[in-house]
Structure 1
Amino acid sequence: MKKPTTEFWQRAFLAFTVGLFLSCAARVSQGQEVDRSKKPASGAPVALRIPAIQMRSLKNGIKVAVLEQHELPLVAVRVVVDAAPTLDPSGKEGVSSLTAAMLSEGTTTRTADQLAESFADLGNRVTPSGFTTVVPNVDSSMKLLADMLLHPAFPAPSLERLRQNSLATLKRQMDQPSYLARRVFMNTVWGAGHPYERTPTEESLKAITRDDLVAFHGRYYRPQNVKFVVAGDVTPAAAVAMIEKAFGKWPAGGFKARYTIPAAKGAAPGTIYLYDRPSSPQSVLLVGGVGPARNTPDFYAIDVMNTALGGAFSSRLNLNLRETHSFTYGAGSVFSYRLTPQPGDFYAISQVATPKTDSALVEMMRELREIGAKRPLSADEVSFAKSSAVKSLPLNFETVEQIASAGVNVLREGLPLNYYNTLTASYRRVTPAQANAAAKKYVDPSRETIVVVGDRKEIEAGLKAAGLGPVVVVDENGKPVTK
């Protein structure tokens, strides 16, 4: 008897699939006919419930958040280190990111290749930010994690490789109009030298030494700046025991991460800051300014309002610029937040066809102006935004990794431990009046910075003729240029 060939099995699978389809179709045809002229009724909303966040502490002060989920024999461990780029020394921007990247480049007892071999033996990868693995591998994975966080070697060849990678990334970013728009935005809104404006440059990356990384690690990678999240098939007692075993001897010292953030210097209101990108087929429009802190009591009203303004495909900005006028493939708006109680950013953004730059900006400004004035959000818009927020939530907590990410968000943002289990009710309480009040308070184009990145010779005259404000040509640092 001949051994079945690959072609035989392919034909057999195809026949089985077709037969199964025809069988299901026959069963459907025997039942009630589907009226395709009517939209199917939505099912009952799924209540969002994630495991309770149980807080514990190690003897050296490290906080541990545990979220029990015993459906599968999996455990996700995440490390939250408070060592943000705003802590980079002046002139050495990029130290924090290079320090974090170098932690996986070898330890005092294992080279990077030996670490990779250990991961292969386990069948799961371990990074300085954590791991996900089966229960029997947790202890071994935790040992590797501790070795990377506590005993990095910072090998010089790896530093040079990562430095060159960072320089290449920076060069690519300087060719991206959206990146350039953000650079101009941060400089004009916050001001040159502000912690939020400072970003790695070619000069700062080249100035960073191995000693800088060792110093940054010793200063901020300390128990007082570290938290753990453990989610999955584990109890709080077991989680604390395994982390205590690996990290209990992490010595105190260094400094508590503290952020001194000066106020925004602010741009000239009503001014268009134009960055010249010759021969650009599209222009980037970015309109925004200082946003609220994450702990604002208006958070849910802001989120609902922004969904209707520019946070969904059916939002006002996208329907106007894309669907009505065909200026762009997409337009939206964002409220981005930093660590509480630091202020955030708000901006509307779109990439539009170069010949339509001025027309698109006029429409964008009109939408920003009218949502808080003569065209407030309707009850239907608010209802849709609330429904979108609530109905999408369960999809974000299907896996152990997603549950661990929720714990990370709670710790990083300083949110209440029951935050996610009250999220649905918090969204549903938002009224149209509250959403419209948020629009009036937080979306005011008369106070916003206008940034345009595009081909100056093609768009400057149109921008001036639009009558939105004076046009100032600037470099990527927001400084006026004379040519």
Structure 2
Amino acid sequence: MKAYIKHTFLTASLAALVTTGFAQKLDRTKLPADAPAPVIQLANPESFTLANGLRVFVVQNNKLPRVAFNLLLDYEPILEGEKAGYVSIAGDLLKTGTKTRTKDQIDEAVDFIGATLSTSPTGIYAASLKKHTNQLLELMADVLLNPNFTQAELDKLKKQNISAIASRKDNPNAIASLVSNAVMYGKNHPYGETATEETVNKVTLEDARTFYNTYFRPNIGYLAVVGDITPAEARTLVEKYFSKWQRGDVPKPTYTMPKAPEKTKIVLVDRPSAAQSVIAVVSPAELKPGAPDAIRSSLMNDILGGGATARLFMNLREKRGYTYGANSSLTSDRLIGRFRAGASVRTAVTDSAVAELMNELRAIREGKPSEEELKRTKNIFSGNYVFSLENPQTIANYAIRTAQYGLPADYYANYLKNVEKVTDAEIQQMAQKFIDPSRVYIVVVGKGSEIADKLKRFGDVEYYDTQGNKVNAPAPAKAAPVGMNAQQVIDKYIAAIGGKEALAKVNDITVTLTTEVQGQAMEMVRKTMSPNKSSMVVNAMGMEVVKIISDGTKVSMMQMGQGRTLEGKEARQITLTSGTFPELRMAQNGVKATLAGTEKVNGKDAYKVVYTTDEGITWTDFFDSESGLRVQQITTQPGPQGEMQVPVSFSDYKEVNGIRFPHTIQQSMGPMQLTLNVKKIEVNKGLKDAEFEIRQ
């Protein structure tokens, strides 16, 4: 982090956290035992259709006194155009009020009976204890049949959507997904368009009302009733609450069928500050749900990239150490399916990883899988299927899919038999049908200046922005202005945050930050003391998970009660960047600073200052050329797949005791993107040397 929360402390703390219980280890040495395909006795859900066309499927399960109602609306994808996002917003608006209840009243009524009620553009889900079924359905029917869209609630949802869009703009995985869809389907296709701040701002109440009045019709609806309820009870309740729902004609638009490119293209989204590259090899696939090829193609994909024993994972992670994980997917869709294979890799091995991905795509087309591969995949595939049947909702979903897609009545009952019948030759046929490495889009989100030329061997390189629009190649990095050096840049930074005189008066700083790691709330407390002492304590789940202390010469780490002393470059880099404002002491600590030109950071010119030491330690700071403030730092850190560049970005500078500190810090940790928010900064609170004492 900046002067007071150095990047090396954050990286060490978070890396330690990830390895102390947030990541689970998978034993891939034990394969499921071979066995004949079990006979599946699927219960046939009771079904009936209301006069208005609503099709109802009832799965009785008396294990728990609960009942769930899941309404699915089956309409064709909608091209939203200049108001992209309105369909999602309309679905969320449903639960924000009815003609007789406000949003708060709905929420209170749901909470009072301990129920669940949620809405989406494709339906409504509600569940409660059986004794509250009537109250639940009265609420569900009110939300469904009597929505009252208001401008105040629309404005709230638009604000939330715009915030979510903003949070995705720096997420490389989200960018890769968005751009993949844009190039694969085209932006004039419902699967290729995306919501932006501009399109969301155009959404009106009339758009939401029109969507609801057009698509919320019972004659395209399927209602799954699952739980402690008899078919007779379900029919009585459904007729009571939903028979007044009026049917209507629903549009059935048609779209141009997306095609694979005539030859492989490289789609590069340049992220100059990226520490790694996200790779996605994609192409459309004409695969319908429940089609004769569906089971065979699913097995083929599982062999290629369906899990931790699949070819892509074993090659790119286990054999070569390029990535934390590599996978593929082949999805069916009534309109158009999709094939995707990909991984997130270190910048330095981007082209090598692409080469191995393409090698595996060719290999599965050119040869049959081994007998062991096919058996193992069938066993896992069948095991997952049997496990899924333990959920009664699955039975209802299968019944609905059978009706939706016109599948044979015994499609799911015979599923495992059909899995067992698949041959090695059929696996190869599926690969040849759905995967063509000579006609794919290779989408890469990464640092263009380091990877663009290396990617040219795979195809023509085209640049796109984060919204999926084709753009010109970025201008090359500019040289530093004549006569300017690194010390001048650092001096400008020191002046920008408060000046040497103000910084010299600071003896200690305590910073409290908050974030989430894999869904768990975390708090970090970073303390620094002049001239070169620091500590970082990470608390999660109500306990101290990691503590790192530097007394200026030695560094220790306490990790889940187990302590160790850091040594070598790892410790040296921490001691170099410990203390309040280490930039004031770089030269006397033997650190050489070099101005290496300018680069774009978040679209703005930034001076690039590279620090090096005699021990071979190096890191890079980027300073905004106008404000002088530090906007990013990149260090090289060891990791499970070798050394990788790890960036941390700084923004939202605010003044505390006359000194400007960043209050938002974005940190990359392998595949995770973390946002740390400063909760509190305390300056000169009187820290003592004892707080930084290392006890052996």
Which TM-score band applies after superposition, normalised by the shorter structure?
A: 0.7 to 0.9
Within 2, Cα distance between the matches of 1:98 and 1:157? 13
Change (3 A) 1:77 1:418: farther
3-state secondary structure, aligned to 2:414: helix
Q: Residues 273-325 of structure 1, C-alpha deviation per residue, up to 9 Å, x if partnerless?
A: 11101111110111120112224311111011111100011100010000000
Q: 1:188 aligns with which of 172, 176, 183?
A: 183
CA change 1:259–1:49 in 2 (3 A) is: farther
The corresponding residue for 1:223 is 218
Q: What do residues 7-29 of structure 1 show as CA deviations (whole Å, max 9, x unaligned)?
A: xxxxxxxxxxxxxxxxxxxxxxx
Aligned position for 1:296: 291
- Does 2:68 align with 1:68? no
**Paired residues of 1:397 and 1:403 also in contact (CA < 8 A):** yes
2:427 to 416, 435, 445: 435
User: After alignment, is 427-436 or 309-318 more displaced?
Assistant: 427-436
- Residue 182 of structure 1 and its aligned partner are, at CA, apart by 1.9
Q: Distance in 2 between matches of 1:289 and 1:134?
A: 45
Change (3 A) 1:432 1:68: same
Alignment of 1:26-425 (within 5 A): 47-83=39-75, 86-128=77-119, 129-253=124-248, 255-264=249-258, 266-291=260-285, 292-338=287-333, 340=334, 342-373=335-366, 375-411=367-403, 414-425=406-417
Q: 1:409 to 1:352 in 2, by over 3 A?
A: farther
Give the one of 420, 441, 453 matched to 2:445: 453
More deviation, 364-373/172-181: 172-181
| 190 and 120 in structure 1: CA distance in 2 versus 1, 3 angstrom threshold | closer
Give, in angstroms, the shift of residue 382 of structure 1: 1.1
CA drift of 1:251 comes to 1.8
In the aligned structure 1, how far is the partner of 2:42 from the partner of 2:368? 35
Q: Alpha-carbon deviations, 1:310-360, whole Å to 9, x = none?
A: 00111000100000000000000001232x2x1201010110111000000
- The structure showing larger relative contact order (alpha-carbon pairs under 8 Å, at least 6 residues apart) is 1
Please say if residues 306 and 327 of structure 2, whose CA atoms lie closer than 8 Å, have aligned partners that are also in contact. Answer: yes
Structure 2 letter corresponding to 1:479: K
Contact 1:46 1:391 in 2 (8 A): no
The AA in structure 2 aligned to 1:262 is: T
Post-superposition shift, 1:46? 6.0
TM-score (norm 1): 0.86
Output one character per residue of 1:22-63: Cα deviation in whole Å (capped at 9) or x when no partner: xxxxxxxxxxxxxxx999978887654442133210121111
Q: Which residue of 1 aligns with 2:462?
A: 472
Separation (CA, whole Å) in 1 of partners of 2:462 and 2:81: 28
- Alignment CA distance shift 1:312-1:286 (3 Å): same
CA shift in 2, pair 1:63/1:326, >3 Å: same
Q: 3-state DSSP class of the match of 1:372?
A: helix
Higher helix proportion, which one? 1
The equivalent of 1:29 in structure 2 is: none
1:112-137 deviation digits (Å, cap 9, x = unpaired): 11112211221212223222223222
CA contact under 8 A between 1:332 and 1:350: conserved in structure 2?
yes
SS of residue matched to 1:250: coil
Structure 1 pair 56–261 and aligned structure 2 pair: CA distance change class (3 A)? same
- Once the 2 structures are TM-superposed, how far is the Cα of residue 436 of structure 1 from its aligned partner? 1.4
Residues 410, 140 of structure 1: alpha-carbon distance in 2 compared, 3 angstrom cutoff: farther
Over the matched positions of the two proteins, sequence identity in percent amounts to: 33
Aligned residue for 1:109, secondary structure, equals: coil
Q: Could you give the per-residue CA deviations for residues 186-206 of structure 1, whole angstroms, max 9, x where no partner exists?
A: 222222312221121211110
Contact (CA 8 Å) 2:154, 2:205: kept in 1 or not?
Answer: yes
Cα distance, 1:410 vs structure 2: 4.4
Distance 1:473 1:332 in 2: 25
- What is the CA–CA distance in structure 2 between the aligned matches of 1:38 and 1:109, rounded to whole Å? 58
Query: Which residue type is aligned with residue 144 of structure 1?
Result: L
CA gap 1:248/1:214 in 2 versus in 1, 3 angstroms:
same
What amino acid maps onto 1:121 in structure 2? F
CA drift at 1:236: 2.6
Kindly tell me: are residues 480 and 75 of structure 1, through their superposed partners in 2, closer, same or farther at Cα, counting changes over 3 Å?
same
Task: Indicate if the aligned counterparts of 2:329 and 2:339 stay in contact, CA closer than 8 A.
Answer: yes
Q: Measure, in 2, the Cα distance between the counterparts of 1:420 and 1:290.
A: 26
Gaps of 5+ in 2: 1-28, 475-696
Contact 2:99 2:146 in 1 (8 A): yes
SS at match of 2:438: coil
Separation in 2, partners of 1:413, 1:390: 22
Q: Which residue of 1 aligns with 2:633?
A: none
**Letter matched to residue 234 of structure 2:** A
Instruction: Using the TM superposition, give the Cα deviation of residue 231 of structure 1 relative to its aligned residue in structure 2, in angstroms.
Output: 1.7
What are structure 1's unaligned runs of at least 5 residues? 1-36
8 Å CA contact retained: 1:386, 1:427 = yes
Cα-to-partner distance string for 1:46-95 (whole Å, 9 max, x where unaligned): 654442133210121111112233343332210001356x3244211112
Q: Is the 8 A contact 2:45 2:396 kept in 1?
A: no
The residue type equivalent to 2:160 in the other structure is: N
CA distance in structure 2 between the aligned counterparts of 1:444 and 1:272, rounded to whole angstroms: 15
Larger radius of gyration: 2
Deviating more after overlay: 436-445 vs 410-419:
410-419
1:122 and 1:419, CA in 2 relative to 1: closer, same or farther beyond 3 A?
Answer: farther
AA partner of residue 422 (structure 2): V
User: Residues 284, 154 of structure 1: CA spacing in aligned structure 2 closer, same or farther, 3 A cutoff?
Assistant: same
Task: State the number of aligned residues.
Answer: 440
TM-score (norm 2): 0.60
Structure 2 SS opposite 1:96: helix
Q: Distance in 1 between matches of 2:405 and 2:426?
A: 23
